[in-house]
Structure 1
């Protein structure tokens, strides 16, 4: 990394008033801002809200800063870095027609990464270090010298593990200013792994419309290995395991009512999945497309975010305190 160049970026961004709008526009292109895919963070927010629901020490300031560090800076940094090295010409998650990447995207992603770590450092060293590790693993996922993405099972496992369990533990630690040992605490590991199960089931579905692009780059994704119909069968099995695991989790906590609400939240997601699968069985090539995949993501994000926000309000007894 060119430290002097990165330092110049940071100084410029932190002193914007001394620069003209045209200069800032020249430095940061519209395509780079699009490739950060900030709205795409919506799809990973259920992990944050689940951790928030189970966190014992709530603090208004930490709730805000952990959210911003992860969803406004860390995830967009990862998205931008991934896009810079992929240089996709066809649809990617959150962008149907991706613009060509420019050099400033690389530096912009690094600035966002440093800001995320900086926010984490205001909470504690452990949270900042977890943000750093997540970012480095994300870089290894995309960088051509390592490119975990080209290994089907390894990339599937690492993506689900870090976007699920590791992120859950990271958010849990940040929300309560806890240390590294949360990673091995059963009350964190179990729900954290549940989030990984969710992502392991959905992750291959996000790849079904990218087979041609992935093949062109030499990336053997799990969906490419399984085939389109095989991807749906694999995800169906993973969804069943995930549902059973969440049922056990809520029943073990004597939260039968929560279980029924969880199943109600999952119903429209599964209905969409089964409808999509029925079309795939008729014509896999035609219906394994961007629109159907993003629809699946949006249905999942809306339903699961709503459920975990409700679970947070219920589990912390905020609703009871408000008289509901």
Structure 2
């Protein structure tokens, strides 16, 4: 199988696996004062430093079960009006809709046909007193990169805080300055599932989402897993070391994919302000769901893994003004560090041939 679903999850890095294995047997609680507990705590703090090295220096990093928890911590832990974008991940959109049902004021801003925010529209929305602006760095479905620094500047000028979902950009792109909160996840950078982190700017406070033992600076009670933290830390350290090499490799894969697919495919979203490890494309008359069945030797998706199986057209593509018919003609290819050039050519050749066969039989 050729794996092209990096936005859903990434293959576990051998270095992350190696960092995790010793903690399968070393089972001590990192919050225990025993010697074994202190050793586990030291491993957690070492991992925290590795993750924090990819984040801004003027804040602190707390471990979570993943980015969904981190985002919920901020959205539910701040009080007041929230502004976000129509193309955000369900972890944000579903949470703000629940908050709206609880009486919180929420405004969801439309985006342009390129998937990018209209900063003038945000400026206008911020004329109403606002507590928090939430925006994703790299969109998980179409790869579009939002102008996070500019969004943060506008939020701060209006007296609001800014939350950045950096899951798809962390370890792949340099993080912009400006956000007050940054949510990240291990399994999107070749680390294990079940662990993520929230970065908070120094001096910023939150109401805790989880109460209990007061772990993680009193913001996230619960026993941490040294094994998962160690894997996350190793993956983050490797991402920092390989940042330039990985970006250059992704660029080669992107160019090769476009060339192999050919001119009959249309890229969804901006082609300029975009992370090139995410190729979301559509083709006229394509039945994308059938293409999944026709090309089972290639792992790719029709959109967010979190919404797969719903049968609904992608809310992200619809926010771009793409029709339901065009959305059902769209596929997402995600690739990265462990994808080879031969694999991308073979996979895109299979996809192109299957799409052309669909078109011939439909004629």
TM-score (norm 1): 0.26
Identify, as 1 or 2, the structure richer in strand. Answer: 2
Identify, as 1 or 2, the structure richer in helix. Answer: 1
